[in-house]
Chain A
Amino acid sequence: MGGFTPDNLVKAKEIIGLYPKARSALIPLCHLAQSQDGWLTPEAIVEIADLLDLAPAEVKGTASFYDMLHTEPVGRYLVGVCTNIACMLGGAYELLEHCEDRLGIRCGQTTKDGKFTLEETECMAGCDGPPCVTVNYRYFLGLDNQGIDQLVDDLEAGRLDNEIPPHGTVYRNSRNVGLTASPTQEPQAGGKSSQIAQPTPTKRGAK
């Protein structure tokens, strides 16, 4: 595990190139890193910081604000059970309990084999089929206890490998048109480089 693979580094630079300001690419790059490693490794954080000219603490500080970005390893399958109002009315807590029993872990934990992490989620916008269960953000609506058992069986047997990539890959396609090279330049190694910087605009909180 290092930072980005060479292919992903190219992708990373393409992503940065989509935005007027490099820092905007922070979250997409974190997703890219998770699609590579399954979680946001320290090495990836350092590499993203380098690419965006930020401090690693800033990248981690930002990433850790978001539920989907994991700075600790998670299972291959992140099973989420929504317990928010509509799903709760549809029996979500009972289903969640069953998930805990079936997987032998509590909410927030990962199975010993590293396959499953169980999560209680907030509303996933699947309220028309409560309870809303997601596996790596793929939806399974209206499951009962047997449905969960079947789902776990299928996942364990690899029967859903085509539909559900391992945790970290959210979307499997990417922008592939109108890409421009990343505006960040290769640092000039030791040469007599001179530079003109733009004055940084004031950010939030400006009087």
Chain B
Amino acid sequence: MSTPKMVTSRLGFEDSFTIDRYVKTGGYQALRKALKMTPEEVCAEVTTSNLLGRGGAGFETGRKWSMLRANPVRYLVVNGDESEPATFKDRMLIERDPHQLVEGTLISAYAIQATQAFIFIRGEFALGLERVLGAVNEAYEYGAIGPDIFGSGFSVDLVVHPGAGAYICGEETALLESLEGKRGYPRIKPPFFPAVIGLYGEPTVVNNVETMSNMPWIISNGGAAFAALGAGRSTGTRLFALSGHVKQPGNYEIEMAKSTFRDLIYNPDLGGGVRRDNKVKAIIPGGASAPWFGPDQLDLHLDQDEVAKAGSMLGSGSVVVMDEETCMVRAAWRIARFFHRESCGQCTPCREGSGWIDKIMRRIEDGYGREEDLDLLMDACDNIAPGVTWPPQQTTICVLGPSIPSSVAWSIRMFRDEYLIHIKEGGCPFS
């Protein structure tokens, strides 16, 4: 592919995580450049780039920044909690190019004139934490963090904050609660939009690791260069985390909106095809929270809006491929089980509904299902996400709730027969 590597350019080097390699490959030049611009100019570049947030919601980063409430205290929080099932791109960026993340964070902190920045890293990323902590220490000594960065007069501290194991802390308001030392309970929006009432009640920007890692490239090359790639609102390149039944699972940085799911799965430089050259039965396009696609939708472009229009989401940029030998009940059950284990427990529908659905799904997979269970499942889903539509409506505080139906309801809709076989035969036909 001829498109530039914006966030993975250094990954070929063994020592990609060291400051030496980073500086040798042009590191921290973008920060120096940004510091010579006004914060407004930096923001403008980002707005021009139309960089969509890479955390899942896909919100324009520049617009998010512009919504920040005017206030003497502002915080920047980088979301490195990556726990969305089958998403593993941020871990790579964190472990392999921590300085890029640090530099992107500093550029952003300058742009929004943050008084302090935090990188919240998933607690389980032991190596990642070591790498980013190390990078922060190095960058501090290098003069890129702390008082009067590179003599520019701009000062900001950057604190690496470890998580401790809770998927929900990826949700930005839960993350802020967690960063405040509390149980990771999502806050109710409105009024708790981070840009208005965020960390410690102050206006706060929360951005994903990959979003941040794009900043050095955008500042070095200009927002327009970024926007020249991709199509429509989906500009630039994006990391796709491909997993499941493909021959070459991995992270692939490709231009947005230009390739299709089929390309991603079958291109020899990318997924390389399905294992045993099986047929694709279904894919999960954007993390466990996303509704499933069937083989008939493989020609959709990796374009945020196109995927949304087709009834799912690009989400966290992960694609799980399930081939014809896969039991759809089992796959959907495992995702239901995930939400059950990870529900924070605040909202009754999510806390109790996820557990109930997990148990019913398990019962069907184990061969003790009843036909009426399918209606029951759909109705329970409906009570969590009224209408069971996409984008969802919700009876809960955060969107973990309405994510529960995505795998359950869509698998029932797509593979009702397979459920019925489980029920009639009293067991799983695949095991």
Contact = CB atoms under 8 A, between A and B. Distances in A.
Given A30-B164, A85-B335, A65 B183 contact: yes
A128 interface: yes
A18 B159 contact: yes
Nearest to B333: A88
Q: What are the 10 A-B residue pairs with the smallest beta carbon separation, nearest first?
A: A67-B165, A26-B181, A66-B164, A23-B181, A68-B165, A125-B88, A127-B243, A137-B126, A86-B243, A171-B129
A110 interface: no
Contacts of B141: 177
Interface in B75-93: 82-88, 90-91
Interface string A161-191: 0000000001111111110000000000000
Interface string B274-296: 00000000001000100000000
A128 B5 CA distance: 20
A36 interface: no
Interface string B105-127: 00000000000100000111111
A117 interface: no
Nearest to A30: B164
Interface of A: 18-28, 30-31, 52, 61-63, 65-69, 83-86, 88-89, 122-130, 134, 136-139, 170-178, 201-204
B19 interface: no
Given A89-B331, A175-B136, A61 B183 contact: yes
B165 A85 contact: no
Which interface residue of B123, B183, B335 has the most chain A CB atoms within 10 A?
B123
Interface stretch (B30-38, B245-253, B300-308, B382-390): B245-253
A170 B90 contact: no
Nearest to A80: B124
A122 B338 contact: yes
A21 B176 CA distance: 13
A69 B83 contact: no
B91 to A, nearest CB: 4
Nearest to A171: B129
B85 A68 contact: no
Contacts of A61: 183
Contacts, number: 182
A184 B410 CA distance: 53
Given A20-B200, A178-B157, A204-B192, A123 B126 contact: no
Nearest to B94: A125
Interface of B: 82-88, 90-91, 116, 122-127, 129-130, 133-134, 136-137, 140-141, 145-146, 157, 159-167, 177-184, 187, 192, 200-201, 241-245, 249-251, 284, 288, 318, 320, 322, 326, 330-331, 334-335, 338, 341-342, 344
A183 to B, nearest CB: 14
Contacts of B183: 61-62, 65
Given A85-B284, A123-B84, A138-B126, 6 more contacts: A22-B181, A24-B180, A84-B288, A86-B320, A123-B86, A204-B187
A86 B85 contact: yes
B104 to A, nearest CB: 19
Contacts of A22: 181
A3 B172 CA distance: 32
B85 A67 contact: no
A108 B361 CA distance: 22
Contact of B126 (A52, A88, A128, A170): A170
B320 A178 contact: no
A89 B184 CA distance: 30
A204 B177 CA distance: 9
Contact of A23 (B84, B87, B134, B182): B182
A85 B84 CA distance: 11
22 contacts: A23-B180, A31-B162, A31-B164, A62-B182, A83-B334, A85-B85, A85-B244, A85-B331, A85-B338, A89-B243, A89-B326, A122-B342, A123-B87, A125-B87, A125-B125, A126-B88, A128-B241, A128-B243, A130-B243, A136-B126, A171-B130, A178-B140
B334 A84 contact: yes
B165 A66 contact: yes
B249 A173 contact: no
A29 to B, nearest CB: 9
B291 to A, nearest CB: 14
A22 B180 CA distance: 9
Contacts of A52: 181
Given A20-B116, A61-B183, A69-B164, A173 B87 contact: no
Contacts of B320: 85-86, 89, 127
B125 A27 contact: no
A18 B330 CA distance: 45
Which interface residue of A24, A134, A176 has the most chain B CB atoms within 10 A?
A24
A66 B180 contact: no
Nearest to A180: B157
B86 A124 contact: no
Contacts of A67: 164-166
Which interface residue of B164, B165, B179, B180 has the most chain A CB atoms within 10 A?
B164
A115 B318 CA distance: 35
A201 B180 CA distance: 13
A68 B130 contact: no
A85 B164 contact: no
A201 B197 CA distance: 12
A28 B129 CA distance: 12
A25 B182 CA distance: 10
A177 B334 contact: no
A145 B158 CA distance: 43
